[in-house]
Structure formats: structure tokens, C-alpha cells
């Protein structure tokens, strides 16, 4: 068992393992997405307060959750890479950042499109919104720092430090609601709805959350494979793969 883990901790074997796992997650993501959208648009009822606008929730909430979660995961991988000098973990962190930033952006965008009809404004400087924006800056900071450094080893370590220091902001996103009076609703959807109705909404939302998860895993694996290729280009196994035309 232990040997197995070691085996997959090497970029070479992880590369092929990831290659085999991607289709699985991609198909799952697509299936869940279709199911989630079906429930979201054709099963879930109209909200009696918000009308149809609430249907934004099916992407807003998954994106918002993913944005925070991916940051923690990224920091974790980066930290492991820093502590144990494992290249693969650092590459994982680098691969997660763009997807995390994308979800953060989507959460901001959908939230703001939702805010216009609900609150009458695109944007308020409310705690949760602000901290989500800071999260976007953290992702961008991480990526720009890594982009500014040419030497990948140094980029990994520097990125890990800033990612770990930035983790402080995650609890702030969570608890900031208590520090400011806030427009953003903290309670879940079920409050405004009768239980049966809410449950279809909730199901739709959860299905979409899983779809987002599967999508994130697939995309991150795909990206980490590219990063592995970029970084390991001088190794024998890459040129071997290349000769076999199996890159």
C-alpha cells in the first residue's frame, strides 16, 4: 500500500494515473451538470419572494463554496510541497489556482447579477462580498508571484509561503458576517420555502455542487498533466513518451 503511494507521488506515474482518471471525472461532471440544470430549471418551483431570479443560486452557491474550498486545498498542497519538497504537490497547488480564481470570479459575477434585481445594486461593500473579492486578489497574487519567477523550484516555494499566509483570510470570509451588518443572506434557501419545495431546490443545488466538484477535479488533473510535462521535459520518461507519441 505504502509503496503504491510512493509510486503515485512520482510525477511520471501520476501523469498516467491522472490521464486515466480524467475521463471518469469529466463524464461524471457532465452528467451531474445536466441533471442539476434539469432539476434547476424544470423541477424546482418558482420562489415566491424572488421569482425566477433565484435560479442563479444553482451556480452561485457552488461557485462560492468551491472558491473557498479550492483555496484551502491549494494552500494545503503548497504547504506539503514546501515541507517535504515533493514536486508533485507543488504542481497541484499551481494547477488549482486558476480554477479557484475562475470560481471566485463566477461567484462574484453571478452574485452581482443576482444583487441587481434583489438589492437594487450591482455591488455593496458588504462583508461577504468584500472578502470574496479579497479572495480573488489572493488567487491573483499567488498566480502573479509564480508567473514572475522563472525558476519553478523557487516559484513553488515562494507561492507556498504566500498561499499559507493567505489562509488567514478564509476564516475571515466565514466569520466576517458577524463583524458587519450584512445584506448578504447567511441563511440557506429553506427558510423562505415550504419544506417540500425547498427540498427540490436544495437537491438541485447540491447536484450542481457535486458537478462543480467533479469539474474542478477533472480540469485540475488536466492542467497538472500539462504542468508536469512542462517541468519534466528533460527527464527520460517524457522523451520516451514523446517517442512513443503518447504524450
Partner 1 sequence: MLQGSDLACVRGDRNLFKAVNFILKDGGLMQVNGPNGSGKTSLLRILCGLSAPAAGKITWNGKSVRTLGEAYYSELVYIGHLSGTKDDLTALENLRISSAFSGENISEHQAVEALVDMGLGGREHLPAKVLSQGQRRRVALARLLVSKAKLWILDEPLAALDVSAIQLVKNLLERHLKENGMIVMTTHQDIDMTAASIVQLQLT
Partner 2 sequence: MFFWIVQRDLLLAMRRRSDVLTTLFFFVIVVSLFPLSVGPEMNMLRMMAPGVVWVAALLASMLSLGRLFSNDYLDGTLEQMLLSSQSLSILVLGKALAHWLVTGVPLVLMAPVLGIQYDLPVDALFVLTTSLLLGTPVLSLIGAIGAALTLGLRGGGVLVSLLVLPLYIPVLIFGAGSVEADMAGLDYDAHLSLLGAFLLVSIVFAPWAAASSLRVSME
Partner 3 sequence: MDWSNWSEFLAMGGYGIYVWGSYLVTFACVIGEILLIFKRRRTLVKRYGQIFDANGEDTSYQDDKTAV
Binding site for partner 3 (CB under 8 A): 41-43, 45-46, 51-53, 55-56, 59-60, 63, 98-99, 102, 105-106, 109-110, 113-114, 116-117, 215, 219, 222-223, 225-226, 229-230, 233, 238-239, 242-243, 247
- Burial pattern 194-228, b for ≥16 Cβ within 10 A else e, equals eeebbeebbbbbbbbbbbbbbbbbbbbbbbbbebb
C-beta of 52 vs 240, nearer to partner 1? 240
The site string for ligand HEM over 13-52 (x = CB under 6 A, - otherwise) reads: ----------------------------------------
Report the half-sphere exposure of 228 (CA within 13 A, side-chain side).
26
DSSP letter, residue 120: S
Place of cell 441563511: 187
167: nearest Cα among 134, 203, 124 = 134
| Contact by Cβ (8 Å): 235, 91 | no
C-beta of 157 vs 184, nearer to partner 1? 157
Q: Is residue 79 within the footprint of partner 2 (CB under 8 A)? A: no
DSSP letter, residue 51: B
Site for partner 2 in 96-135 (CB under 8 A): 121-126, 130, 133-134
Which residues of this chain interact with ligand HEM, rule CB under 6 A?
57, 60-61, 64-65, 107-108, 111-112, 114-115, 118, 128-129, 132, 184-185, 188-189
Amino acid at each position: 500500500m505504502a509503496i503504491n503511494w510512493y509510486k503515485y507521488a512520482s510525477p511520471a506515474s501520476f501523469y498516467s494515473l491522472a490521464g486515466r482518471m480524467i475521463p471518469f471525472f469529466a463524464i461524471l461532471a457532465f452528467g451531474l451538470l445536466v441533471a442539476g440544470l434539469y432539476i434547476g430549471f424544470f423541477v424546482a418551483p418558482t420562489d415566491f419572494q424572488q421569482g425566477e431570479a433565484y435560479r442563479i443560486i444553482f451556480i452561485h452557491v457552488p461557485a462560492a463554496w468551491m472558491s473557498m474550498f479550492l483555496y484551502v486545498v491549494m494552500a494545503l498542497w503548497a504547504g506539503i510541497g514546501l515541507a517535504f519538497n515533493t514536486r508533485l504537490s507543488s504542481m497541484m497547488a499551481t494547477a488549482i489556482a486558476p480554477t479557484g480564481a475562475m470560481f471566485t470570479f463566477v461567484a462574484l459575477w453571478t452574485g452581482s447579477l443576482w444583487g441587481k434585481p434583489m438589492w437594487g445594486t450591482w455591488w455593496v461593500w458588504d462583508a461577504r462580498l468584500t472578502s470574496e473579492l479579497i479572495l480573488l486578489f489572493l488567487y491573483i497574487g499567488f498566480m502573479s508571484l509564480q508567473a514572475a519567477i522563472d525558476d519553478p523550484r523557487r516559484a513553488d516555494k515562494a507561492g507556498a509561503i504566500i498561499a499559507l499566509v493567505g489562509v488567514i483570510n478564509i476564516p475571515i470570509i466565514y466569520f466576517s458576517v458577524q463583524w458587519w451588518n450584512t445584506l448578504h443572506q447567511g441563511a440557506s434557501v429553506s427558510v423562505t420555502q415550504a419544506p417540500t419545495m425547498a427540498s427540490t431546490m436544495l437537491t438541485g443545488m447540491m447536484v450542481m455542487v457535486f458537478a462543480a466538484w467533479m469539474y474542478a477535479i477533472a480540469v485540475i488533473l488536466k492542467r497538472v498533466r500539462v504542468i508536469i510535462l512542462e517541468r519534466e521535459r528533460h527527464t527520460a520518461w517524457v522523451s520516451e513518451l514523446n517517442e512513443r507519441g503518447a504524450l
